């Protein structure tokens, strides 16, 4: 996946653990109609603008060979302020802001003009309900009372298990990047089975934490200890707002339980390892391998009672958390679940809950001083519930057929370039090359939007019921995912909405999604030379293609089966090159006391190097041997590399950067821009010489693909 472009712009969308499972799964689909795309040029009048290389953003006082990110973006960094409602700001965030405004306008139109009962009308009603702050304020906690009463009625281990099973979901917590929604100790994802990708399996994952990662509970540093103290205070304030007696005492008990859950969690690096995650358990295995939780009651309440086999991504966590169900007093569990229920639906509760949630998750964790405007949060929520309806409206307005065709041509060129790169590998055995090319030949690349749009006829949306809409939307998604069990795998499925600035590779499906929103300026622009698009959008496309051949994707064959198709010698060479890249990224330090984790980020770093290399070759291939015309005083190669580096421009607040380094499988963007140091043509383009900080001797440049 591709850094910022795989996240909502102010939040970490997926954890390393979950990101890998997302890469194995896709969104549910039913019968859908094809989009009717208007034959018009995409409008950029509302801010999605590109004028080629941003000359003003370049800092010529920095030598390209010393810090290419700073050379390409230094003046932009100096002159740009992060908006008060953001923890980060850059090219992706700017485009997301434009896309959000466009989406809000489309939703407003739907609210006024859509036929009653239509999916478009549901979009308008969902958005309007979220925006009705006065109505939400007047209701107080009343909409949440049925759920709180369920928790209060828990009286024994069986009823606790039934509640946990009944609230099991397949949706993602965008506040807490490690976990599924935190009112459950586990998360579920329905994805292709790794051993037999012709059918779906339910994947069970670790969950249950209110902070982004187990390190926030276990790291002994003074900074993390301060965050833990603020988190306890946050829990007490939420409980007080919910009119819970003795909130300080309850907050302490809840924190202690979460600390024990964190101790059971596996690390992010281990969670990313597909070989460690692919554990098939029978239904009976849960009783013997993870005693403590009443699994029969749990699975029955989760509508998984007839399922005989599961993939347990985190066996030790499932075992450890299950033991806590029996060990920890029932009343503590009820306190914990009450808090989690309030936290989950805090954004559709009265403003005091919203502000308290933001004070911790926004300001304390990421340093963001100002809460996003309500309409921005409403767009995010509506996208989450009815994303493909909004996506269809978006592509009809903003993604004309000509841009889809232009992107598909770029994809074809990059695939051809990648194929040539495989042929040219001197170290790879012929049999491994043949299998790599067989896999490349069956990659299914989705550009812009899905071929079939999702059917939301089964989702009830009631205007004026913001919390109920959120609950029904979550349950609707869960049921749609469960309905896939027993069906043939559908390779046309998408996991991303068309209006998301994002891209993803799905290894078990041998498929990729490139949503329409990322195929817009400044990444993809019909008004500038194509070489610049190859450096920006092309590198993203190459990155996603390369994920099929990174340290994890390389383990999946052309059918999506988890099967190492490499010769032993070839895989040893690949691993050695990977270790070389791990060391390179271990050397990057955004702060004196904090370094990038090369092992955690290795999959993305491999894809960056291989993807940029393939995009460079594809740009050259597209010119048929000719040189690109000089533009803005730069040669074709300079345009390519500068467009790449400027596509990664981003500023982060210090807490946000620290959180990203700890929890994110992507290196910070400034170091991703410096990927260029591994490509020989970059050295010639900018006359990079030995002694400059980014200079690597030819033998030290990583050449994986």
Query: Domain for residue 368, yes or no?
Result: no
The pLDDT-based confidence of 113 (bands split at 50, 70, 90) is: confident
Which pLDDT score, from 0 to 100, does residue 48 have?
53
Element (H, E) at 509: none
Mean pLDDT of 363-375: 95
CATH code for the domain in which residue 438 is found: 3.40.390.10
Residues in the chain: 705
Whose structure tokens read 């559709």?
A: 348
Cα three-residue angle 691-696-697, rounded to 5 degrees: 95
Within a 13 Å sphere around the CA of 204, how many CA atoms are in the beta-carbon half? 30
Nearest-angstrom CA–CA distance, 530 and 701: 27
Which pLDDT score, from 0 to 100, does residue 51 have?
63
Q: Per the structure block, which two tokens stand in for 270?
A: 């281990």
Nearest-angstrom CA–CA distance, 632 and 52: 8
Q: Which of 229-233, 414-418, 562-566 has the lowest average pLDDT?
A: 562-566
Q: Are residues 516 and 382 in the same domain?
A: yes
Q: Are residues 448 and 587 in the same domain?
A: yes
Which pLDDT score, from 0 to 100, does residue 49 have?
62
Q: What is the dihedral of CA 103, 109, 113, 118, to 10 degrees?
A: 10
Nearest-angstrom CA–CA distance, 596 and 600: 9
Query: Domain for residue 124, yes or no?
Result: no
Nearest-angstrom CA–CA distance, 182 and 238: 15
Query: Domain for residue 123, yes or no?
Result: no
Mean pLDDT of 369-398: 95
Q: List Cβ neighbours of 81 (8 Å cut-off, separation of 6 or more).
A: 89
Which pLDDT score, from 0 to 100, does residue 50 have?
60
Nearest-angstrom CA–CA distance, 339 and 414: 49
Give me the DSSP letters along 221-273: SHHHHHHHHHHHHHHHHHHHHTT-SSHHHHHHHHHHHHHHHHHHSPPHHHHH-
Q: Are residues 179 and 256 in the same domain?
A: yes
Contact in structure between 169 and 477 (CB atoms under 8 Å): yes
Query: Domain for residue 114, yes or no?
Result: no
Mean pLDDT of 31-52: 40
**Single residue among 348, 366, 399 that ends a domain in this structure:** 348
Q: Are residues 244 and 391 in the same domain?
A: no
Nearest-angstrom CA–CA distance, 418 and 436: 10
Nearest-angstrom CA–CA distance, 389 and 121: 10
- Helix, strand, or coil (residue 337): helix
Nearest-angstrom CA–CA distance, 343 and 656: 21
Give me the DSSP letters along 602-657: HHHHHHHHHHHHHHHHHHHHHTTTPPPPPBTTB-HHHHHHHHHHHHT-EEE-HHHH
Give Cα 80 to chain centroid, integer Å: 26
Which pLDDT score, from 0 to 100, does residue 550 have?
80
Does residue 16 surpass a pLDDT of 60?
no
pTM score, whole prediction: 0.87
Domain coverage including residue 344:
141-348
Mean pLDDT of 674-689: 98
Query: Checking phi first, is residue 281 left (phi over 0); if not, alpha (psi -120 to 50) or beta?
Result: beta
Q: Are residues 226 and 161 in the same domain?
A: yes
Contact in structure between 275 and 269 (CB atoms under 8 Å): no
Which pLDDT score, from 0 to 100, does residue 553 have?
81
Give Cα 121 to chain centroid, integer Å: 28
Q: Are residues 321 and 417 in the same domain?
A: no
Nearest-angstrom CA–CA distance, 500 and 603: 22
Query: Domain for residue 101, yes or no?
Result: yes
Bond before 684 cis per omega within 30 degrees: no
Q: List Cβ neighbours of 535 (8 Å cut-off, separation of 6 or more).
A: 615, 619, 639, 640, 641, 642, 643, 644, 647
- Please give the mean pLDDT across all residues of the chain: 89
Q: Are residues 98 and 151 in the same domain?
A: no
Give me the DSSP letters along 359-399: IIIIIIHH---SPPPHHHHHHHHHHHHHHHHHHHHHHHHH-
Q: Are residues 645 and 531 in the same domain?
A: yes
Q: Per the structure block, which two tokens stand in for 618?
A: 């594809």
The pLDDT-based confidence of 174 (bands split at 50, 70, 90) is: very low
- Angle, helices 157-166 vs 330-344, to 10°: value is 20
Nearest CA to 630 among 533, 529, 535? Answer: 529
Nearest CA to 87 among 668, 670, 647, 651? Answer: 651
Using the 8-state DSSP alphabet, how is residue 201 labeled?
E
Q: Are residues 206 and 260 in the same domain?
A: yes
Give me the DSSP letters along 427-454: SS-HHHHHHHHHHHHT-EEEEES-SSPP
Name the residue with higher pLDDT: 18 or 430.
430
Nearest CA to 540 among 505, 496, 510? Answer: 505
For 297-329, what is each residue's pLDDT tens digit?
Answer: 999 999 999 999 999 999 999 999 999 999 999
Query: Domain for residue 441, yes or no?
Result: yes
Does residue 145 surpass a pLDDT of 90?
yes
Cα three-residue angle 31-169-198, rounded to 5 degrees: 50
For 464-509, what is each residue's pLDDT tens digit?
Answer: 999 999 999 999 999 999 999 989 999 888 989 999 998 998 887 8
Query: Domain for residue 121, yes or no?
Result: no
Q: What share of the chain is helix, strand, coil (3-state, %, to 5)?
A: 55, 5, 40
Q: Are residues 304 and 432 in the same domain?
A: no
> In sequence order, which ranges of 11-156 are alpha helices (DSSP H)?
16-22, 68-79, 91-113, 119-131, 133-139, 145-152
Residue 328: how many other CB atoms lie within 10 Å:
17
Nearest-angstrom CA–CA distance, 513 and 502: 8
Which pLDDT score, from 0 to 100, does residue 302 have?
98
Tell me whether residue 264 is exposed, middle or buried, using C-beta atoms within 10 angstroms of its C-beta: 0 to 12, 13 to 18, 19 or more: buried
Which pLDDT score, from 0 to 100, does residue 565 have?
87
> Long-range contact list for 350-359, CB < 8 A, 24+ apart?
350/136, 350/137, 350/140, 350/141, 351/133, 351/137, 352/241, 353/238, 353/241, 356/234, 356/237, 356/238, 356/241, 357/175, 357/238, 359/234
Kindly calculate the radius of gyration of the chain based on its CA atoms and give it in whole angstroms: 25
What sign does the dihedral 590-595-600-602 (CA atoms) show? positive
Q: Are residues 496 and 547 in the same domain?
A: yes
Does residue 637 surpass a pLDDT of 90?
yes
What sign does the dihedral 590-596-601-607 (CA atoms) show? positive
Query: Domain for residue 82, yes or no?
Result: yes
Does residue 30 surpass a pLDDT of 80?
no
Contact in structure between 662 and 669 (CB atoms under 8 Å): no
Q: Are residues 398 and 310 in the same domain?
A: no
Does residue 671 surpass a pLDDT of 70?
yes
- Give the phi and the psi of residue 504 in degrees, each rounded to 5: -155, 150
Number of domains in the chain: 2
For 447-473, what is each residue's pLDDT tens digit?
Answer: 999 999 999 999 999 999 999 999 999
- Helix, strand, or coil (residue 312): strand
Percent of the chain with pLDDT over 70: 91
CATH code for the domain in which residue 276 is found: 1.10.1380.10
Does residue 40 surpass a pLDDT of 60?
no
Contact in structure between 512 and 90 (CB atoms under 8 Å): no
């Amino acid at each position: 996946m591709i850094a910022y472009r795989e996240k909502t712009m102010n939040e970490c969308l997926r954890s390393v653990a979950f990101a890998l499972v997302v890469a194995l799964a896709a969104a549910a689909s039913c019968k859908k109609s094809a989009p009717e795309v208007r034959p018009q040029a995409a409008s950029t009048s509302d801010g999605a603008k590109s004028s080629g290389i941003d000359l003003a953003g370049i800092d010529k006082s920095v030598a390209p060979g010393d810090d290419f990110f700073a050379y390409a973006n230094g003046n932009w960094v100096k002159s740009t302020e992060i908006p008060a409602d953001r923890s980060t700001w850059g090219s992706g965030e700017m485009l997301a802001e434009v896309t959000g405004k466009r989406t809000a306008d489309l939703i407003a139109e739907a609210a006024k003009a859509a036929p009653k009962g239509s999916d478009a009308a549901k979009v308008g009603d969902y958005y309007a309900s979220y925006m009705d702050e006065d109505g939400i304020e007047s209701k107080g906690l009343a909409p949440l009372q049925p759920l709180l009463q369920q928790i209060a009625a828990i009286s024994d281990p069986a009823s606790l298990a039934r509640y946990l099973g009944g609230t099991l979901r397949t949706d993602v917590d965008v506040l807490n990047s490690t976990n599924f929604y935190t009112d459950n100790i586990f998360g579920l994802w329905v994805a292709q089975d790794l051993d037999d990708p012709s059918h779906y399996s339910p994947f069970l994952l670790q969950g249950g934490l209110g902070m982004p990662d187990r390190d926030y509970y276990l790291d002994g540093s003074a900074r993390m200890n301060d965050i833990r103290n603020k988190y306890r205070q946050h829990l007490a304030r939420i409980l007080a707002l919910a009119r819970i007696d003795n909130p300080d005492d309850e907050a302490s008990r809840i924190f202690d339980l979460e600390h024990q859950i964190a101790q059971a969690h596996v690390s992010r690096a281990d969670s990313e390892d597909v070989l460690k995650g692919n554990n098939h358990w029978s239904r009976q295995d849960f009783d013997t391998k993870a005693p403590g939780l009443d699994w029969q009651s749990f699975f029955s309440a989760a509508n998984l009672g007839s399922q005989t086999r599961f993939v347990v991504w985190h066996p030790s966590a499932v075992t450890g958390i299950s033991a806590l169900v029996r060990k920890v007093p029932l009343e503590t569990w009820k306190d914990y679940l009450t808090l989690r229920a309030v936290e989950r639906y805090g954004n559709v509760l009265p403003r005091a809950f919203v502000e308290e949630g933001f004070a911790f998750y926004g300001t304390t964790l990421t340093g963001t001083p100002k809460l996003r405007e309500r309409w921005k949060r409403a767009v995010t929520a509506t996208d989450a519930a009815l994303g493909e309806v909004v996506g269809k409206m978006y592509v009809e307005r903003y993604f004309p057929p000509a841009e889809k065709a232009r992107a598909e041509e770029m994809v074809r060129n990059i695939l051809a370039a990648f194929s040539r790169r495989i042929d040219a590998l001197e170290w790879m055995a012929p049999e491994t090359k043949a299998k790599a090319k067989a896999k490349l030949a069956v990659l299914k690349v989705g550009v812009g939007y899905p071929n079939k749009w999702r059917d939301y006829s089964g989702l009830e949306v009631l205007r004026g019921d913001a919390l109920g809409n959120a609950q029904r939307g979550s349950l609707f998604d869960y049921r749609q995912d469960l309905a896939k069990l027993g069906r043939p795998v559908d390779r046309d499925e998408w996991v991303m909405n068309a209006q998301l600035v994002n891209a993803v590779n799905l290894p078990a499906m041998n498929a990729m999604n490139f949503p329409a929103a990322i195929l817009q300026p400044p990444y993809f622009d019909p008004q500038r030379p194509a070489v610049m698009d190859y450096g920006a959008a092309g590198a993203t496309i190459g990155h996603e293609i390369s994920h099929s051949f990174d340290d994890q994707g390389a383990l999946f064959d052309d059918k999506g089966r988890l099967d190492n198709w490499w010769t032993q010698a070839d895989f040893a060479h690949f691993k050695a090159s990977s270790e070389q890249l791990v060391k390179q990224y271990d050397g990057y330090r955004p702060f004196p006391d904090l370094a990038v984790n090369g092992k955690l980020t290795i999959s993305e770093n491999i894809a960056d190097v291989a993807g940029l290399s393939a995009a460079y070759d594809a740009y050259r291939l597209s010119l048929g041997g000719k040189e690109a015309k000089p533009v803005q005083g730069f040669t074709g190669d300079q345009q390519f590399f500068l467009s790449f580096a400027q596509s990664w421009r981003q500023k982060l607040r210090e807490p946000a950067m620290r959180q990203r380094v700890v929890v994110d499988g992507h290196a910070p963007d400034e170091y991703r821009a410096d990927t260029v140091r591994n490509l020989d043509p970059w050295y010639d383009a900018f006359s990079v010489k030995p002694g400059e900080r980014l200079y690597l001797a030819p033998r030290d440049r990583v050449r994986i693909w």
